Structure 1
Amino acid sequence: MPIHDIFPKTTLITSRRKKFFGQLFRVPGLSRRTKFYGAVALGLALTVYFGVLLAPSDFTKGSVISIKQGMTLSDVAAALEKENIVRSTVLFKSAIVLLNGDGKVLSGDYFFNSRPTFVGVAWRVARGIFGFAAEKITIPEGANVYEVAALVRQKIPKFDTDEFIRIAKDDEGYLFPDTYHFLPGVSAGEVHRTMHDTFDEKMKPLNDAVKKSGKNLHDIITMASLLEEEARHTETRRLIAGILWRRLDINMPLQVDATFSYINGKNTFELTLADLRDGSSLYNTYTHKGLPPGPISNPGLDSIVAALYPKESPYLFYLADLSGVTHYSRTFEEHKEKKFQYLP
């Protein structure tokens, strides 16, 4: 019996498959009956695969389906069917129940670049296999929550920056700057949680040192955030840490210019006398003694270690010139001379 009598012309039978069937009928040692039933079985298998298991032929390559929190299994199945990702909602839901038992799926955005089977779709949404390549996002030391939100938004346009700032602003200083890999559908809560968990993990080796320092963690992280902005090198940070802790001990105002970047966005060379005298913000360490209410950014490990292990010196004043070199002074008069010498 000719092969075309068994499988009439159809879009499912390509020239490659026709060639395969032709080769099947030329296999030596097989009876015509065996070849016939083999071809029928194979044809039925292909029919089931393409007509039942596989997504509809009008599936769009590169489809993205969003599964929101709170969607029921029926909601998810209907959405997948509407986007031509599964043919049968019944088969999809049955597969989910078999895979998960409780019929739950994981929320998120799922990317489908080729025609999937309903079993493959069920497997992915049951286990949160999103199909996206994670975005590499580097958060530099000293970035505050607003800057973190903007950096994530640059790589992930749908990222909810307002929500991130809302939930993360009270954790300023405790979101560890590092290189992260986030999926395109990452939520504000997940970024916040990941960065905070990383902070906790990085601090574990330093927990004993914090306890022995006689200072609480909040003060140490607040000091570290100042050091992050005031200097770029470990030894310089340790020297400045010694100066600033000493100022606190003698009840002297910290007079740290870096807090103004948090107050009004100005750097040392942009500040005016009016800025220094404006006591409306508790972060102004010229008008308010003691540490500011909290960290002004998220410091890196080097600055945290410098805050924990300050270096003693005879100095009480310091300044950085335009090239970034730090100059130290024992007295205010000496400090004024160096300001005249090194600053415009």
Structure 2
Amino acid sequence: MKLMLRYALGIILLGLLLVGSWSYFSYQQFIAEPVAIQHPMTFKLAKGDSGYRVINNLVKQNIISQPRWAKLYLQISKKNGLKAGTYQLQSGMTFPQLIELFIDGKEIQHQLTFIEGWNIHQLRQFVSQQPTLTKVTTDWTDEQLLEAIGATESHLEGLFFPDTYHFPEGYRDIDLYQRAYQRLTQTLAEEWQQREAELPYENAYEALIMASIVEKETGRAEERATIAGVFVRRMQKRMRLQTDPTVIYGIGADFDGDIKRVHLRTDTPYNTYTRHGLPPTPIAIVGRESIHAALHPAPGKVLYFVSRGDGSHHFSETLQEHNAAVRKYQLKQK
């Protein structure tokens, strides 16, 4: 009898050992093998989702098939603090890697780019058309947006820094505007502190206005400082800036792409042919390079420039030389 009992106990212990070994190796296999993802896919965690609820959702989407091992892993590892968001799951990821991804909060990052030279109407239209943003400002006035971003300026034009911005799904457009405004104010402040001496600007905002003119006048990096030098010297000599981009900005939506003499003679706050000094606001968003050029204009005697028609400009020190360049590069083209 005792022998039979010992034999039965041995069988039971062996069975338990086998089950335990099988369970151990099954668990180790589960956490080591990639989950069932063949191609990159998105996975959403709602606010308040527990680890167990996430596991159930993974099972429903056929990403894992062993919820008990997944729950055991959470118990043993004491992993918690999963963050709500939208994540991109990649093929080859293991369950522990998924959990680390959710804990780190490394959501899918969308991106969009603000382009140098855009005016505020182009910028706001672009933002309003982005499907990855949550829109709260689409119907706001410029004044409402100014107040929301905490701007001290009275006009939105030129207040947002052109750059590529990354953000998670559902990001609010107002938060994007806030970031771009902060980038602009920080960049402008840094450049203003390093400015050349004896510039004709009363404050950093006037330098920003000049930078926007430089931005619109040339797309060539090597010309920015030279063009800034032209306009700075004109201001110092009490000459009018006479720059077409400000005139075009003053015309607004009515501009048809062809600037005429009547436009140059029609007075607006932005017509630098009829008024001295800088226009009242920037005319576009500007990058750091144009701000730097406005605050570090190239020295020299150049007072005029004209487009060669290939994106570059011919620079002249005298009006006589300038008129000859106009005849060469502009009148012959017509």
> How would you bin the TM-score normalised by the shorter chain?
0.5 to 0.7
Whether 1:159 aligns to 2:133 is yes
CA 1:47–1:150: 2 relative to 1, 3 Å: farther
Contact (CA 8 Å) 1:213, 1:308: kept in 2 or not? no
Whether 1:128 aligns to 2:105 is yes
Of the candidates 209, 232, 236, which is equivalent to residue 245 of structure 1? 232
Contact (CA 8 Å) 1:257, 1:267: kept in 2 or not? no
1:7 is aligned to none
Q: Secondary structure at the match of 1:319?
A: strand
CA 1:179–1:249: 2 relative to 1, 3 Å: same
Q: Deviations over 1:213-247 (max 9, x none)?
A: 55311111111111111123455322322221233
Whether 1:191 aligns to 2:166 is no
Contact (CA 8 Å) 2:127, 2:173: kept in 1 or not? no
2:118 is aligned to 143
Q: Aligned partners of 2:55, 2:127: CA distance in 1, in Å?
A: 29
Q: Which residues of structure 2 form unaligned runs of 5+? A: 1-9, 28-39, 62-66
- How far is the alpha carbon of 1:153 from its aligned partner? 7.3
Q: Deviations over 1:25-48 (max 9, x none)?
A: xxxxxx643442245557889999
1:182 is aligned to 167
Of the candidates 211, 224, 229, which is equivalent to residue 216 of structure 2? 229
Q: Aligned partners of 1:226, 1:301: CA distance in 2, in Å?
A: 13
Q: Secondary structure at the match of 2:316?
A: strand
- How far is the alpha carbon of 1:268 from its aligned partner? 11
Instruction: State the structure with bigger RCO (CA 8 A, min sep 6), 1 or 2.
Output: 2
Of the candidates 300, 306, 317, which is equivalent to residue 319 of structure 1? 306
Contact (CA 8 Å) 1:149, 1:161: kept in 2 or not? no
Contact (CA 8 Å) 1:258, 1:268: kept in 2 or not? no
Contact (CA 8 Å) 1:225, 1:299: kept in 2 or not? yes
CA 1:35–1:80: 2 relative to 1, 3 Å: closer
Q: Aligned partners of 1:328, 1:267: CA distance in 2, in Å?
A: 29
CA 1:211–1:227: 2 relative to 1, 3 Å: closer
CA 1:279–1:207: 2 relative to 1, 3 Å: closer
Q: Secondary structure at the match of 1:191?
A: helix
Q: Aligned partners of 2:254, 2:306: CA distance in 1, in Å?
A: 16
Of the candidates 262, 281, 287, which is equivalent to residue 294 of structure 1? 281
Contact (CA 8 Å) 2:305, 2:316: kept in 1 or not? yes
Q: Secondary structure at the match of 1:181?
A: strand
Q: Which amino acid aligns with 1:278?
A: T
Q: Secondary structure at the match of 1:258?
A: helix
- How far is the alpha carbon of 1:342 from its aligned partner? 1.9
Q: Aligned partners of 1:308, 1:136: CA distance in 2, in Å?
A: 30
Q: Which amino acid aligns with 1:33?
A: I
Q: Aligned partners of 1:268, 1:334: CA distance in 2, in Å?
A: 31
Q: Which amino acid aligns with 1:177?
A: P
Q: Aligned partners of 2:177, 2:292: CA distance in 1, in Å?
A: 23
CA 1:297–1:123: 2 relative to 1, 3 Å: same
Q: Which amino acid aligns with 1:330?
A: T
Whether 1:36 aligns to 2:21 is no
Q: Which amino acid aligns with 1:157?
A: P
Q: Aligned partners of 1:74, 1:136: CA distance in 2, in Å?
A: 27
Q: Aligned partners of 2:181, 2:227: CA distance in 1, in Å?
A: 27
Q: Aligned partners of 1:210, 1:63: CA distance in 2, in Å?
A: 48
Q: Which residues of structure 1 form unaligned runs of 5+? A: 1-30, 49-60
Percentage of identical aligned residues: 25
Q: Which amino acid aligns with 1:129?
A: K
Contact (CA 8 Å) 1:177, 1:195: kept in 2 or not? yes
Q: Aligned partners of 2:24, 2:125: CA distance in 1, in Å?
A: 52
Contact (CA 8 Å) 1:317, 1:329: kept in 2 or not? yes
Once structures 1 and 2 are overlaid, which stretch shifts more, 305-314 or 118-127?
118-127
CA 1:117–1:286: 2 relative to 1, 3 Å: same
TM-score (norm 2): 0.62
Once structures 1 and 2 are overlaid, which stretch shifts more, 237-246 or 156-165?
156-165
Q: Secondary structure at the match of 1:318?
A: strand
Contact (CA 8 Å) 2:209, 2:283: kept in 1 or not? yes
Contact (CA 8 Å) 1:150, 1:161: kept in 2 or not? no
**Aligned alpha-carbon RMSD (Å):** 5.3
1:22 is aligned to none
Q: Which amino acid aligns with 1:247?
A: R
CA 1:311–1:64: 2 relative to 1, 3 Å: same
